[in-house]
Chain A
Amino acid sequence: MPEHQTLVEVQGLKEYFQINTGFFRSRPLKAVDDVSFTIHKGETLGLVGESGCGKTTVGRTLLHLYKPTAGKIIYDGKEIESRESIREYRRKATMVFQDPYSSLNPRMTVSDIVAEPLDVHHLTANAKERHERVLELMGLVGLNSEHASRYAHEFSGGQRQRIGIARALAVNPEFIVCDEPVSALDVSIQAQVINMFDELQDKLGLTYLFIAHDLLVVRHISDRIAVMYLGRMVELADAKEIYDHPLHPYSQSLLSAVPLPDPKIARANKRIMLTGDIPSPLNAPTGCPFRTRCRYATAKCAESMPPFEKVADGHFVACHRVKEIN
């Protein structure tokens, strides 16, 4: 196996939001609870899970859009903590948002949207240089130069997402957090944008954290995949490995629930049905968060949170009974 260079390291990341539950009362909502992982240089790490599992919060906290409640974020060997380091970090790490309709300012032209990071970080010396850089970025994502003076509403969803990507690329980043970048797009357009992410990665050597709930898309684009449930990371492995041999009971049912676009396979597919709903993160179960829906749960699962442990080379699972059930 080739040596991987670590670009991003997350240690014991916690993000709690205070939720008002009464007049003078508030309780912490543990959106992300003790999550640790690394992202290698040049890879795509997929992050999957159902709504409310904390995957978006991980992405945002990773970029210091939220201040972490606890835990460390280490980028390229340096801990990101001070204002200085955050500012410098944001020139290397950017984000592409889910909704191409609400993440672009309707009163700005495409050229101003794409140039905004350049202006914020003072990356271009004069107007001419700025304009050239904007055109270069637009070319990179497959937009024409005549689009520069138009407004976002004149574009279709797929083109808007390209504008959002051009903006993310403006600072010449090394690392991009992509938060559900294709889920608002139609199937035929989705493939165009997925391919563009692939091509940009080859061309610019980018590293991605790719957050999505569409498991087939994530499988396609990712080198490794992490599965989250109720604020915790429950499994992390190579993309192929996790699809062929998921070890955590939650990953197993999640992956078996994906409807495959092939009638013969879909009809024969044995689904592992989960009963009930995902519990509210305000009332998370004690011990393992998944135990209330897990068909293997025992008394031990209610007592303590299983550690996130290595079970094979590059394969991590948080389950007390992982050895017995597989």
Chain B
Amino acid sequence: MALLEVNNLRTSFFTDAGEVKAVDGVSFFLEKGKVLGIVGESGSGKSVTAYSIMQILAPTGKIVGGSVKFDGRELVGAGEDVLRTIRGNKISIIFQDPMTSLNPTYTVGHQLEEAILLHTNRNRKQARERAREMLELVGVNEPDKRLRQYPFEHSGGMRQRVMIAMALACEPDILIADEPTTALDVTIQAQILELMQDLQRKMGMSIILITHDLGVVAQMCDEVIVMYAGGICEQGTADEIFYNPKHEYTKGLMRSIPTVGNDGQRLQPITGTPIDLLNMPKGCPFAPRCDNAMKICLTQRAERMQINADHAAACWVNVRDGLNAGKGGEANA
């Protein structure tokens, strides 16, 4: 049994302008000890997927269907008392912006201890010791001094380390990292990614890494989910997604990033403008920007189809080319 099973998850935001289907039928499995990457552009629903798993949506957002099972236990519809035993203990999350996710009026030590006291049976003295240990683990020099300081006295990279320390203090089974390095410089990003990789191996946890940076995905992930307009267009092992993309959107993404290989050539961008979730087309959401769109793409959404054991995609072009091994199939298979 997989550690986390997400099945046909649907989350909507109810705004004055109408219902926005931010996540529309997302399914995947996460195995123990694996790193799963979720990539997509702004508005593709990657962060909302994560927030739905944790059930920390904004007041206008609501899970309208599907299921999220952690270790066999259903989380959708579960009460706050159940969720409280999961959040922080079993599944932790770190956010993009380390500048705003710490409280500026308390010391770093206080905030770390608070998290530890809340989730474990330690007393204050033991919690302080644990906080120190955690800071050491994430590579902060002079942890005693750092614990007494306020967040503004720390740099961005330091603050993100503190956030990671806080998220890992209870040794969660799953760490959800929502764009953990987007706000950081590349040399600091490299430090944080290496730290996450190192801790993941040491503690044997699973990571869901949400990012728009394909380079970060290539470096970190075992499996990759590509999202567009609230749905999954393609899913498979990192090698399959990068070397054998089977959805027109993923192919377009791979062609539009500058690499060492396309030096001196013009990039081949995806034409058109990003999707408007309030005005979703009837068929495949990517069809209006797709160069190979066919008639069926405009009227009917393609279902997820298995390409091979490690790879599934939802694209009619594969049907045309006879690449589908079978309809539906297991989520990550």
| A interface, CB within 8 angstroms of B | 50-51, 156, 158-159, 186-192, 194-195, 198, 213, 215-217, 219-220, 240, 243, 253-254, 256-267, 269, 271, 273-274, 276-278
A257 touching B263, Cβ below 8 Å: no
A259 touching B218, Cβ below 8 Å: yes
Shortest B77–chain A CB gap in Å is 34
Question: B292 on the interface (CB 8 Å rule)?
Answer: no
Contacts of B216 in A (CB 8 A): 259
Shortest B116–chain A CB gap in Å is 26
Q: CB within 8 A of B258: which of A188, A219, A271? A: A219
**Given A50-B187, A195-B269, A254-B187, A261 contacting B41 (CB threshold 8 A):** no
Contacts of A261 in B (CB 8 A): 214-215, 217-218, 242, 254, 257, 259
Question: B308 on the interface (CB 8 Å rule)?
Answer: no
Which 10 pairs between the two chains have the least Cβ-Cβ distance? A259-B215, A191-B269, A220-B258, A191-B256, A257-B190, A186-B41, A50-B185, A188-B270, A261-B214, A266-B219
Q: CB within 8 A of A188: which of B190, B253, B266? A: B253
11 residue pairs from A and B, CB less than 8 Å apart: A50-B188, A51-B185, A158-B274, A198-B266, A217-B258, A219-B258, A257-B189, A259-B215, A260-B219, A261-B215, A261-B259
Question: B238 on the interface (CB 8 Å rule)?
Answer: yes
Shortest B272–chain A CB gap in Å is 9
Which of B185, B259, B274 neighbours the largest number of chain A CB atoms within 10 Å of its CB?
B185
B193 touching A159, Cβ below 8 Å: no
A188 touching B252, Cβ below 8 Å: yes
**Given A156-B274, A240-B263, A260 contacting B215 (CB threshold 8 A):** yes
8 Å CB contacts to A: which residues of B293-333? none
Shortest A201–chain B CB gap in Å is 12
Question: B194 on the interface (CB 8 Å rule)?
Answer: yes
B193 touching A263, Cβ below 8 Å: no
Nearest B residue (CB) for A186: B41
Main SS of the interface on chain B? helix
8 Å CB contacts to A: which residues of B155-208? 155, 157-158, 185-191, 193-194
Shortest B253–chain A CB gap in Å is 6
A166 to B255 CA separation, bound complex (whole angstroms)? 26
B215 touching A216, Cβ below 8 Å: yes
A263 touching B41, Cβ below 8 Å: no
Nearest A residue (CB) for B216: A259
**Given A50-B187, A258-B186, A189 contacting B269 (CB threshold 8 A):** yes
Question: B212 on the interface (CB 8 Å rule)?
Answer: yes
Contacts of A256 in B (CB 8 A): 190
Range of interface residues on B (Cβ < 8 Å): 35 or more
**Given A188-B269, A257-B190, A261-B242, A266 contacting B258 (CB threshold 8 A):** no
Contacts of A219 in B (CB 8 A): 258, 260, 263
6 new A-B contacts, CB < 8 A, other than A186-B212, A220-B267, A263-B218, are A188-B274, A191-B268, A195-B269, A243-B260, A266-B218, A273-B194
Question: B271 on the interface (CB 8 Å rule)?
Answer: yes
Which of B141, B186, B193 neighbours the largest number of chain A CB atoms within 10 Å of its CB?
B186
Contacts of A243 in B (CB 8 A): 260
Contacts of A220 in B (CB 8 A): 258, 262-263, 267
A261 to B213 CA separation, bound complex (whole angstroms)? 8
Contacts of B263 in A (CB 8 A): 219-220, 240
A277 touching B212, Cβ below 8 Å: no
Contacts of B188 in A (CB 8 A): 50, 277
Contacts of A264 in B (CB 8 A): 239
A195 touching B266, Cβ below 8 Å: yes
Question: B15 on the interface (CB 8 Å rule)?
Answer: no
A108 to B275 CA separation, bound complex (whole angstroms)? 25
Question: B279 on the interface (CB 8 Å rule)?
Answer: no
Nearest B residue (CB) for A217: B258
B157 touching A192, Cβ below 8 Å: no
Nearest B residue (CB) for A221: B258
Shortest B55–chain A CB gap in Å is 27
A243 to B261 CA separation, bound complex (whole angstroms)? 13
Question: B273 on the interface (CB 8 Å rule)?
Answer: yes
A253 touching B219, Cβ below 8 Å: no
**Given A254-B187, A257-B190, A274-B191, A187 contacting B256 (CB threshold 8 A):** yes
Question: B101 on the interface (CB 8 Å rule)?
Answer: no
B259 touching A262, Cβ below 8 Å: yes
Contacts of B158 in A (CB 8 A): 277
Nearest A residue (CB) for B238: A263
Shortest A128–chain B CB gap in Å is 31
A256 to B256 CA separation, bound complex (whole angstroms)? 22
Shortest B243–chain A CB gap in Å is 8
Nearest A residue (CB) for B224: A263
Contacts of A51 in B (CB 8 A): 185
Nearest B residue (CB) for A190: B256
Nearest B residue (CB) for A293: B187
